[in-house]
Structure 1
Amino acid sequence: MSGTVSTHYDAPDLIARIEAALSDAGLSPETVTADVLAPIEEFHVGGRMATDTLLRDLNIRPADRALDVGCGTGGTSRHAAAQFDCTVEGIDLTDSFIRAGRTLTDWLKLDGKVALHCGSALDMPFETARFDLGWMFHVGMNIEDKQALFNEVFRVLKPGGRFLVYDIMRGEDETTPLTFPVPWAGSQASSFVRPPRQYDEALRSAGFAVTKSEPRRDIADAFFAQAASQASQPRPPLTLALIMGETARDKFANLKRNYEAGRIVPVAISCEKPI
């Protein structure tokens, strides 16, 4: 299954695509900013707005060492490092994302704060109790064994460590099959969207104390409203089509269709590793 997931996201020429798009906009690796890159880096419902809203709840401090599970190209890792002056290590299964992310990290001169690793979230190359806190944004939809995932996250967090999950989960309608393709999967075969109670159960079984679990329809509604309002506006230099390819429009439309039908909803879960 890991091969299916990495193949779905694989973009071996991603940096070349980004450089070409920047050139068309009169930009370069020397002049690009994190804000220009944000549309392709915050690969979750709500984008940068959701990132700022959700990370604020983690109370990140400059001395903290943070973990970004399923970091993609590392946009959230870099944003957190820049905003909170912490250090961040990200891990992702897709090698082309990690290679591109390391290049982008160099462009933004954050290589001293951010390190990106290619590997599985089910078997992370980190020692026990390495991190003060962590997060995963829109990752669990691709992972069937959520218990193994949260067991591993629990292992690498320090006692007292905070962890935030922000995933697409099943909504009020848990039985109607989703419409595909969607951003995380081309078909049901590689999609493992589950209801919030299954996340809560797996987190508690791993040893976490769950402090808050809530659907974030506010974030989703604002996200889709903003997308609709921008439909007639000039496109930014970089868009998610660079990552999602020719099916980007269909994937986004199906994401919105599934959400409006009550089949999915973004949910944020906050938890802690007991001291």
Structure 2
Amino acid sequence: MPDQARHLDAHYDAPAERGEQSLSTRLRAAFREAGCDPDHLSLEEIAGIDQLHLGGRRASRSLAVLGRLAAGSRVLDVGCGTGGASRLLAAEFGAEATGLDITAAFVEVAGWLSRATGLDESTRFLCADAAHMPLADGTFDVVWCQHALMNMPDIAAVLAEWQRVLVSGGTLLLHEVVAGDDRLPLSLPVPWARSIETSHLRPRQSLEAVLAESGFAPVVVRDVTEEALAWRRKHSRREGSVATSPPTLPGPALIFGEVFAEMGRNLRDNLAADRVRILEGVWRKA
């Protein structure tokens, strides 16, 4: 875990790794500058830093509906980032969400944002490696993961942990980046990696095979690359239009640094060239 955590800290909280202020300090200051009270925020005010994956909240809602997420479900949000999906599932679907992330700065921010939005009673967060989770067996109805497996080198260990913490017949909901058919090198950096050494993309066939070997049976799997590309193109245009005039409310550039706009353009180009694709799916613990 230490090496993996260090690599991900260097990527997901690059400004702090360079000796700048911590992520929570930077974000709190940005909310104050925008005229917001950092300790009393709405879900709309935090939308720009809430869900750091393609499709944002719309993609999370789509996955929850596809998986028929029921009120009262105990959900483990793996690779939760700043906790946006956990809060959405609690606020809109009545879930009891536990977010887990290896990046300590994300976990700190996730807890603060849940308190600030009044969702701290239905969400909780912990810092841990998904391949070694400090959680009891059979304690979750759903494992939820959006754009995080490509940061996990030991996928077999991760899936074994997911099997362990799920109840019998539990559900796995994935919204994931996979390698496309064009095997030319990725345009880098991208939102999940600055070098190829820290990107663990797998082709769809390989991912589905390891899921099956780990005891997960597919219920429905969809390729949603075209929708993701349209969303990324729209946001790339928006990011380009504010290059000289920062948005009023904080956005992902405060997390990733000034390189975020380049990451977004590269992701758009990788999607368009079929170097990466996006899957949305539901699997059942066999």
Tell me the TM-score range normalised by the shorter chain.
over 0.9
2:34 paired residue among 15, 25, 41: 25
SS at match of 1:81: helix
Tell me, yes or no, if the aligned pair for 1:50 and 1:219 is still in contact at 8 Å.
no
Distance in structure 1 (CA, Å) of the matches to 2:237 and 2:128: 38
Shift of 1:213: 2.2
SS at match of 1:34: coil
The RMSD of aligned alpha carbons is: 1.6
SS at match of 2:131: coil
Distance in structure 2 (CA, Å) of the matches to 1:221 and 1:111: 33
Residue equivalent to 1:221: 229
**136-145 or 8-17, larger mean C-alpha shift:** 8-17
How many equivalent pairs are there?
273
Q: What stretches of structure 1 move > 4 A for 4+ residues in a row?
A: none
* 1:53 counterpart = 2:62: yes
Query: Within 5 A, what are the aligned runs for 1:45-194?
Result: 45-173=54-182, 175-194=183-202
Distance in structure 1 (CA, Å) of the matches to 2:196 and 2:259: 16
Distance in structure 1 (CA, Å) of the matches to 2:133 and 2:107: 15
Counterpart of 1:75, as a letter, is G
Distance in structure 1 (CA, Å) of the matches to 2:269 and 2:188: 10
* 1:36 counterpart = 2:45: yes
Tell me, yes or no, if the aligned pair for 1:45 and 1:219 is still in contact at 8 Å.
no
Counterpart of 2:200, as a letter, is F
Shift of 1:30: 4.3
Distance in structure 2 (CA, Å) of the matches to 1:171 and 1:236: 36
Shift of 1:236: 4.7
Residue equivalent to 2:257: 245
What is the TM-score with the length of structure 1 in the denominator? 0.94
Distance in structure 2 (CA, Å) of the matches to 1:138 and 1:162: 17
Post-superposition CA distance 1:192-232 (Å, at most 9, x none): 11111111111111111112222212431331243155353
Residue equivalent to 2:10: 7
Tell me, yes or no, if the aligned pair for 2:229 and 2:271 is still in contact at 8 Å.
no
Percent identity, aligned pairs only? 33
Tell me, yes or no, if the aligned pair for 1:66 and 1:132 is still in contact at 8 Å.
yes
2:213 paired residue among 190, 205, 213: 205
Cα separation, partners in 2 of 1:184 and 1:228, compared to 1, 3 Å: closer
Query: Mind listing any 5+ residue stretches in structure 2 that lack a counterpart?
Result: none
Cα separation, partners in 2 of 1:19 and 1:167, compared to 1, 3 Å: same
Query: Mind listing any 5+ residue stretches in structure 1 that lack a counterpart?
Result: none
SS at match of 2:76: strand
